[in-house]
Structure 1
């Protein structure tokens, strides 16, 4: 067994997540009262660093999307099937220790995709986005390589909305009757006169199809009717 120190118990702030790196695996070390837990340091959702999160009650909370994990077990209180891997840890002579071989074996079984020397390094989003963010990977590629791989304008498309929710040609209804006669230009005169009751004895003629009158508060008066 190879013991390795990840933090000092006395100087580790209570209920404040701390970052550690062992065998190329990111870890988060959390002390609460006299207890200590060492977990895999990445949120199961989008791989955000859990050391950038915070403690709320009995849970370790991801600082990006509020995913929660119990301090004692790593089990999500919200969704029990989600479990943040926990590694054996103990305090010896004031040092918080872990077993390097255990973490290395876990890292071998779960290869880490983070290149700490590349763009974004520890903070790279390796999930390539979700349905609501389908172009996260494309945006990051622009940040790394610019437009040299896609041309001057880059890829032109809608971002941030699932393609299934975008309108397509099937949603557009074209009424051919409206295309039969081309519309007039905006500076051409247009007749707006409207005749209401053209066959009546006294038809109502309006210069424009807009008529404003007082409310009758009941029935129309006799002069208005005739």
Structure 2
């Protein structure tokens, strides 16, 4: 005989229903839990121009070089970036939630 599920003090009714559905079918949803802390945003970036180049001798007349080359020692085709900003790949779980 089936019994009625009791109200859980830990999980809400929708979560309990999802647990029962996954247990009955053997299929569960794969989903990310999201970030546990506030995720940095592009507005949070601070660029210190003085640390990106040598100290300019003539104030603002000299060019501040921001280009960077990745893999210049061992790569067959090194990557040259005019602006050293890269967006790294992230897992689906880290992005969802």
TM-score w.r.t. the length of structure 2 is 0.29
Structure of greater relative contact order (alpha carbons < 8 Å, 6+ residues apart): 2
The structure where helix makes up a greater share of residues is 2
TM-score w.r.t. the length of structure 1 is 0.14
**Which structure's CA Rg is the greater one?**
1
